[in-house]
Amino acid sequence: QVQLVQSGAEVKKPGASVKVSCKASGYTFTSHYIYWVRQAPGQGLEWMGIMYPSGGSTRYAQNLQGRVTMTRDTSTSTVYMQLSSLRSDDTAVYYCARQMGAEESPFDYWGQGTLVTVSS
Amino acid sequence: SYVLTQPPSVSVAPGQTARITCGGDNIGSKNVHWYQQKPGQAPVLVISYDSDRPSGIPERFSGSNSGNTATLTISRVEAGDEADYYCQVWDSSRDLNWVFGGGTKLTVL
């Protein structure tokens, strides 16, 4: 069965970086795009960016350009999301999600979420 | 950028019908997806492409989309349906971008 398993919770200081992993299994890793979505405490969902596992290309939300980097390791079917220059308002649960198919298709499988807390 | 507007909360008694709206400019021309999120859990897709129900989602969940409003309808509401619900569309008008509504808290009285 399809699974996306994320790394554990992180606590970081302002200005630091965090790297969250998302390991995919149960399907052909290079056949589906992977998105990152975050959710601040008590808030809604915010799209962060997309990783195209087959070629490794990425596209990021404008408000995170310059601070977010997404990479992948095809040998382990793992996608990584690194966020730098962390601020307190980056405190959120970070999710990876698989896109079902074509460009406008929904996210059919989600990781369990990774809580990142930014605090001095 | 494109904006999706959802009511913050909807309340309904068990067995009744809940309707959760998602407003956007000419949203009827876009594909709308709906997610259910229970506390401490990841979102779950409950309706795709306006009205398609993924495998495993009860028939009580349905969707429609026309004009400036998309609607998620939950019939014969159960206590287990209490959750936050989010609508989602792909906005290709300027920057290619996924847009989520602000979410609606469904309370089962």
The verdict on a CB contact (< 8 Å) between B54 and A108 is yes
Q: Output the pLDDT for position A101.
A: 84
- Mutation for testing the A interface, residue in B98, B104, B105 having most A CBs under 10 Å: B98
Residues A10-38: what's their mean pLDDT? 96
pLDDT above 70: percentage of residues in chain A? 100
Confidence of residue A22 (pLDDT cuts 50, 70, 90): very high
Whether residue A2 contacts residue A50, with contact meaning beta carbons closer than 8 Å, is answered with no
**Number of CB pairs, chain A paired with chain B, less than 8 A apart:** 47
Return the number of other C-beta atoms located less than 10 Å from residue A79's C-beta: 28
- Comparing CA positions, the residue from B105, B45, B72 lying closest to residue A43 is B105
Determine the 3-state secondary structure of A50 from DSSP.
strand
pLDDT above 70: percentage of residues in chain B? 97
Confidence of residue B1 (pLDDT cuts 50, 70, 90): confident
Residues B79-100: what's their mean pLDDT? 88
Question: Which residues in chain A are closer than 8 Å to B45, comparing Cβ atoms?
Answer: 106-108
Distances (CA, A) of B92 to A44, A79, A120, B29, B98: 21, 25, 39, 12, 9
Residues A37-52: what's their mean pLDDT? 94
Confidence of residue A103 (pLDDT cuts 50, 70, 90): confident
Q: Output the pLDDT for position B95.
A: 65
Residue B63 touches partner A, C-beta closer than 8 Å: no
Residue of A nearest to B45 (CA): A108
Beta strands in chain A (DSSP E): 3-6, 10-12, 18-25, 34-39, 46-51, 58-60, 68-73, 78-83, 92-99, 107-110, 114-118
Q: Which one-letter DSSP state was computed for residue B48?
A: B
Question: Which residues in chain B are closer than 8 Å to A108, comparing Cβ atoms?
Answer: 45, 54
Identify any residues that bridge with A79 across adjacent strands, giving them in sequence order.
Answer: A22, A72
Q: Tens of pLDDT along B21-58?
A: 999 999 999 999 999 999 999 999 999 999 999 999 99
pLDDT above 90: percentage of residues in chain B? 90
